[in-house]
């Protein structure tokens, strides 16, 4: 008997099996997440994309409809366990031939430069409750080691957090957020703390891409830095944000990181509301020029504005010019395709902000260097 999986020419192990041993294994993994019986399966196909060798879909009958479930498998890699992510965002389909052509269309889009768009049409979706959440973006708290207490003269903040072996827990181009706490106010008896998340794109080999300056916010810009800089003064948990299906081709992400670094992007223009570290990571990695922390803070601010009758300073003393202009004027719902195009167009037009800067390397040199620095992914192809 020949395996029933689409275009598979392997033989089945036993005459009563429908699938070869490879596709049997695929299906048993699939059933750990989705319940489907053999008799309901109408089509199974496995295929490769540039980001994974282990992609597939299952079309199954469900009542009078057909359901397409796409699946992406990531094998165990260093300290990251194996992971199967499934997507079912295709709506109700009444004909098998429609299901088959829809699945084929999605398969080809997944091989393109913006694989995630395979699952999005041209309608509005909420960023924080639909696009940047599971299964699109998988959030995971990383283990950490407290490295002693940070007790300056007048201030108790708490245990410092650190993760010393990031390559064991992160894949290149994952976004990482770490909680930091800073003291606000100078007097011994009147101070408060503000807690926020510092955000980077992890590059591999202990290198990160982030908005950074060791001491002055006004001197921050987009740059490549070290993992220890990124983690400095961390006071809370570390989170990994991983995309089983990438938003942008990794070569584009690296090109945009190189461009931002070369241009000293946003030097002297740091703006908590529109150009913070999270905007930078999100625009390079996802193509979405938006910050979750600002989305959450701005709902608080609008309430506060009403009670204060006009607001000049908010968010623990940071000032901003236009109270209403936050998150680059974006609504909380977007058409994903349009936003990726818009933000990509903007970052590709970036010129050097810091014209006095002397750089020996060209942008192309940097791009090449970052591509080389990202470790070989033969053991974990998914970004």
Residues that bind Zn ion (CB under 5 A): 3, 5, 8, 10, 20, 23
Q: Give least dist CB 25 to Zn ion, A.
A: 10
| Residue 18: exposure state from Cβ atoms within 10 A (0-12, 13-18, ≥19) | middle
Q: Give the whole-angstrom CA distance, residue 382 versus residue 246.
A: 8
Phi and psi, residue 363, nearest 5°: -60, -35
Q: Give least dist CB 12 to Zn ion, A.
A: 8
Nearer to Zn ion, 1 or 151 (CB): 1
Nearer to Zn ion, 58 or 383 (CB): 58
Evaluated on CA atoms 225, 226, 232, 238, the torsion sign reads positive
Q: Give least dist CB 207 to Zn ion, A.
A: 41
Helix (H, G, I), strand (E, B) or coil at 352: coil
Q: Give least dist CB 96 to Zn ion, A.
A: 20
Q: What share of the chain is helix, strand, coil (3-state, %, to 5)?
A: 30, 25, 40
Q: Give least dist CB 23 to Zn ion, A.
A: 4
Nearer to Zn ion, 6 or 368 (CB): 6
Q: Give least dist CB 73 to Zn ion, A.
A: 15
C-alpha 4: how far from its chain's center? 36
DSSP-assigned letter for residue 373: H
Nearer to Zn ion, 25 or 219 (CB): 25
CB 125 within 8 A of CB 336: yes
CB 227 within 8 A of CB 127: no
Nearer to Zn ion, 12 or 243 (CB): 12
Nearer to Zn ion, 12 or 344 (CB): 12
Q: Give the whole-angstrom CA distance, residue 272 versus residue 326.
A: 9
């Amino acid at each position: 008997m020949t395996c029933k999986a689409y275009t598979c020419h392997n033989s089945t192990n036993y005459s009563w099996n429908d699938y070869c041993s490879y596709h049997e294994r695929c299906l048993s993994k699939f059933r750990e997440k989705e319940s489907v019986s053999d008799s309901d399966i109408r089509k199974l196909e496995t295929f490769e994309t540039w980001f994974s060798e282990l992609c597939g879909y299952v079309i199954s009958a469900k009542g009078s409809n057909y359901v397409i479930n796409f699946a992406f498998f990531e094998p165990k890699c260093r300290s990251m366990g194996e992971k199967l992510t499934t997507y079912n965002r295709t709506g109700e389909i009444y004909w098998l031939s429609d299901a088959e052509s829809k699945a084929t269309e999605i398969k080809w889009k997944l091989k393109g430069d913006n694989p995630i768009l395979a699952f999005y049409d041209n309608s509005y979706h909420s960023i924080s409750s639909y696009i940047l959440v599971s299964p699109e973006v998988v959030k995971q708290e990383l283990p950490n080691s407290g490295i002693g207490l940070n007790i300056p003269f007048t201030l108790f903040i708490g245990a410092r957090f650190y993760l010393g072996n990031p390559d064991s827990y992160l894949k290149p181009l994952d976004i990482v957020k770490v909680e930091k706490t800073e003291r606000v106010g100078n007097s011994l008896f009147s101070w408060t703390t503000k807690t926020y998340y510092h955000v980077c794109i992890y590059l591999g080999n202990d290198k990160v891409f982030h908005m950074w300056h060791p001491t002055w916010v006004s001197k921050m810009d987009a740059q490549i830095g070290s993992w220890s800089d990124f983690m400095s003064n961390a006071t809370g948990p570390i989170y990994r944000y991983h995309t089983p299906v990438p938003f942008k081709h990794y070569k584009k992400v690296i090109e945009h990181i190189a461009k931002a670094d070369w241009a000293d992007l946003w030097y002297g223009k740091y703006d908590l509301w529109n150009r913070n570290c999270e905007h930078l990571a999100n625009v390079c990695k996802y193509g979405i020029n938006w910050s979750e922390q600002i989305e959450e803070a701005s709902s608080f601010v609008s309430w506060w504005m009403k009670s204060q009758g006009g607001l000049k300073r908010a968010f623990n003393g940071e000032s901003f010019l236009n109270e209403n202009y936050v998150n680059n004027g974006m609504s909380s719902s977007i058409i994903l395709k349009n936003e990726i195009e818009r933000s990509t167009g903007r970052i590709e037009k970036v010129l050097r902000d810091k014209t006095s800067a002397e750089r020996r390397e060209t942008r192309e040199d940097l791009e090449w260097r970052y591509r080389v620095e990202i470790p070989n992914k033969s053991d974990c192809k998914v970004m």
